[in-house]
A = this chain, B = another copy of it.
Amino acid sequence: MNSSPLSGPVMSGPSSITDVARRAGVSIATVSRSLRGLPNVSPVTRTRVLRAAAELDYVVSPAASRLASRRTGTIGVVVPFARRWFFSQVLGAVAAVLREAGMDLLLYDLADRVGREEFFDRLPLRRRVDGVLVISLGLTSAEAKVLRELGVPAAIVGVRTPWLPCVRIDDVEGSAKAVRHLVNLGHQRIGMLSSGLEDPTRSGTPTDRRTGYRKALREAGLAHDPTLEHLGAWGPDGGAEAMADLLALPDPPTAVFAESDEMAVGAMRTLRRAGLRVPDDVSVVGFDDHEIAGLVDLTTVRQPVAEQGEHAAILLLDAVANGPSEVPSEIVLPTRLIVRSSSTPPRIRTRWPGPAEGLPTPRAHER
């Protein structure tokens, strides 16, 4: 139906502001003002316009509107890896705030090194957003500079960055909380599973969390034994490997603090496969309160994830609306220790069980 151009002017695509103007008997300028709630329109005119628009099922053309107004009504959200738990949580929260504000959300998932390079190289955001929200991406200063040159307000979640308003947590203090908890339980040998700098997407965080670990040990008057600090790749597998390393020590720790819940869970798997029990043989504490933590009863440090996204989005929207504030704001949200059943006082150890079958060969041996 209506496939022939001969069928007349009936189906002529979506109606434009001109149609509304004609129908309401006013100029298009007045329609524009009415629709956007600007002043200087009499109530009666406005209602007439609104009705006409509704009757025609009119929707403004974003393209035309943007071209004319030089505003995009869009926020670019840059995530290092949309598939990971943390980022998807933040993204969800950001999406909610932006929707509320009537802003479009243009998503950029860097995902891999090439994506990242291409992003900062070509700056695909240019001319298409009013603001940029960066989620937990450790930016090199060059990258930060490029971002600034975009010429629109920006904000960042999770990592302190020069020039950028930032919403984050205190990783040092959070880690210290976790370690203090273990100390208070009576542990003396506390290991740490940490993810070096291998993950460029969280830079800063690993270091901070390690710092918190050392700080808490120091405060407790415990010696910092470097052999108890083990690096692994990011994620469960890294945690599993690092844990295996620790187990291979002559005098393994009675408790470990993992940089992230993911690593903690990996560590728990190693322990399980080694025939060791959590927390009876080894206490484990994680960080983040990833959804998985509750499922495996992991003691952890909760950080407000969605809230960070919300705050950042609000911050950014404000900057977009009112211009960036002179001094970039910084919001630090609180963390909280969540005690579950993966941590308990150390057992008086009578005999350390020998390596059980299934225990991964410690990497140390491979070198």
Q: B-contacting residues of A (Cβ < 8 Å)?
A: 14, 59-64, 66-67, 72, 77, 81-85, 87-89, 91-92, 95-96, 99, 104-109, 111, 115, 123, 126-128, 236, 265-266, 269, 292, 294-297, 306
Give the most central of A87, A236, A292, A297: most B CB within 10 Å.
A292
Q: Provide a sorted-by-A list of 6 A–B residue pairs whose CB atoms are within 8 angstroms.
A: A67-B67, A77-B107, A81-B92, A95-B111, A269-B295, A292-B295
Query: Inside 8 A of A77's CB, which chain B residues have their CB?
Result: 107
For A64, give its contact among B59, B67, B88, B297 (CB under 8 Å).
B67
Query: Inside 8 A of A115's CB, which chain B residues have their CB?
Result: 96, 99
Query: Inside 8 A of A107's CB, which chain B residues have their CB?
Result: 77, 91, 95, 105-107
Given A64-B67, A85-B85, A127-B62, do A265 and B295 touch, yes or no (CB 8 Å)?
Answer: yes
Provide the bound-state CA to CA distance between A87 and B95, in Å.
14
Q: How far is the CB of A1 from chain B (nearest CB, A)?
A: 14
Q: How far is the CB of A36 from chain B (nearest CB, A)?
A: 16
Q: How far is the CB of A84 from chain B (nearest CB, A)?
A: 8
Pairwise interchain contact A127-B14, C-beta atoms closer than 8 A: yes
Q: How far is the CB of A316 from chain B (nearest CB, A)?
A: 16
Chain B residue nearest to A112 (CB atoms) is B96
Query: Inside 8 A of A128's CB, which chain B residues have their CB?
Result: 62, 104
Pairwise interchain contact B63-A67, C-beta atoms closer than 8 A: yes
Chain B residue nearest to A61 (CB atoms) is B127
Chain B residue nearest to A81 (CB atoms) is B92
Pairwise interchain contact B109-A95, C-beta atoms closer than 8 A: yes
For A105, give its contact among B14, B67, B89, B106 (CB under 8 Å).
B106
Pairs of residues from A and B, 6 with the lowest C-beta to C-beta distance, nearest first = A88-B88, A63-B66, A83-B92, A95-B109, A63-B67, A82-B92
Provide the bound-state CA to CA distance between A128 and B104, in Å.
10
Pairwise interchain contact A111-B82, C-beta atoms closer than 8 A: no
Q: How far is the CB of A20 from chain B (nearest CB, A)?
A: 14
Provide the bound-state CA to CA distance between A265 and B295, in Å.
7
New A-B pairs, 6, CB < 8 Å, besides A95-B107, A295-B296: A63-B67, A82-B95, A92-B111, A96-B109, A236-B294, A265-B295
Query: Inside 8 A of A127's CB, which chain B residues have their CB?
Result: 14, 59-63
Pairwise interchain contact B88-A82, C-beta atoms closer than 8 A: yes
Chain B residue nearest to A100 (CB atoms) is B115
Provide the bound-state CA to CA distance between A99 and B118, in Å.
10
Give the most central of A83, A91, A115, A306: most B CB within 10 Å.
A83
Provide the bound-state CA to CA distance between A91 and B89, in Å.
13
Q: How far is the CB of A288 from chain B (nearest CB, A)?
A: 14
Provide the bound-state CA to CA distance between A154 and B84, in Å.
26
Provide the bound-state CA to CA distance between A292 and B290, in Å.
11
Pairwise interchain contact A106-B106, C-beta atoms closer than 8 A: yes
Provide the bound-state CA to CA distance between A84 and B88, in Å.
8
